[in-house]
Structure 1
Amino acid sequence: MDDREKQEIYAEFNDAVNMTPKELEEWLETEASQNVGWTHEGEDEAVGHKSGRRIVEIKHKKKAELDDDDYAHMKKVVGYVHRHLKQGGPSDGKEHSRWRYSLMNWGHDPLK
């Protein structure tokens, strides 16, 4: 991954993740957060919830501290957020929808 690609990923990630680390940490502690998403067989934590914890770690790092694994996860987050936003969510009741809660686990609140 070259520097130009890292710059693009960094910018896209910071656009896609519109929740602060504190907001995301508080959200991840809620029952709603823990009850959405897909879980790998044999695991207790959903993929999105685990991603949210990783996003908080990334957001607490300085840009110079980010490694290739961080950038790979950031790219994954951007892809997830963009795909799910295109789905548009439910036509009504978005505030308390699984669609919104799943996006929030990935650091994006579509109602912000």
Structure 2
Amino acid sequence: MARSPLETEELWQRFHDVVNMTSRELVDWLGVQADLDAPRPGPVERAQLGDAVVGILGKRRTDLTDDDLDAMRKVIEVVETETDGVTKEQILSDERRRHRLMTVGHDPFREAE
């Protein structure tokens, strides 16, 4: 799929806005997280997406593949779906939601900068 530099730049920025964990933090989290039953996305898909996030965090924008861009879009979708219309207090008190978010690199306890 052809992509313009502007589209890639916008996606890169949105991805880095929602992913607020470092690759090291995410690797640690993926290695120790509890397996909570969560309907969306499934445990295997979440782990694969989390692994993709770790890979993307280690890349330069110019090195992104189409698969990376697809994963970035999915991460943005997961974070937006889990947080839209929900208060911060609701997010922080819902352990399953927090786990789903952290598995894709978004720590809801971390304040937005």
Q: Distance in 2 between matches of 1:92 and 1:57?
A: 30
Q: Distance in 2 between matches of 1:108 and 1:20?
A: 10
2:14 maps to what in 1? 12
Percent sequence identity is 31
Q: Distance in 2 between matches of 1:60 and 1:96?
A: 30
Contact 1:58 1:70 in 2 (8 A): yes
Q: 2:36 matched to 1:35?
A: yes
Alpha-carbon shift at residue 93 of structure 1 (Å) = 8.2
Alpha-carbon shift at residue 73 of structure 1 (Å) = 1.1
1:109 maps to what in 2? 107
1:67-87: CA deviation from partner (whole Å, max 9, x where unpaired): 122111111111111111115
For structure 1, the 5+ residue unaligned runs are: none
TM-score (norm 2): 0.81
For structure 2, the 5+ residue unaligned runs are: none
Q: Structure 1 11/93 Cα, relative in aligned 2: closer, same or farther at 3 Å?
A: closer
**Number of aligned residue pairs:** 107
Q: How does 1:1-112 map to 2 (within 5 A)?
A: 1-32=3-34, 34-38=35-39, 45-88=43-86, 94=92, 97-112=95-110
Alpha-carbon shift at residue 109 of structure 1 (Å) = 0.7
Give the residue type in structure 1 aligned to 2:24.
K
User: Residue 53 of structure 1 aligns to a residue in which SS?
Assistant: helix
TM-score (norm 1): 0.81
Contact 2:91 2:98 in 1 (8 A): no
Q: Distance in 1 between matches of 2:16 and 2:36?
A: 26
Alpha-carbon shift at residue 92 of structure 1 (Å) = 5.7
Q: Structure 1 97/90 Cα, relative in aligned 2: closer, same or farther at 3 Å?
A: farther
User: Residue 84 of structure 2 aligns to a residue in which SS?
Assistant: helix
Contact 2:33 2:99 in 1 (8 A): no
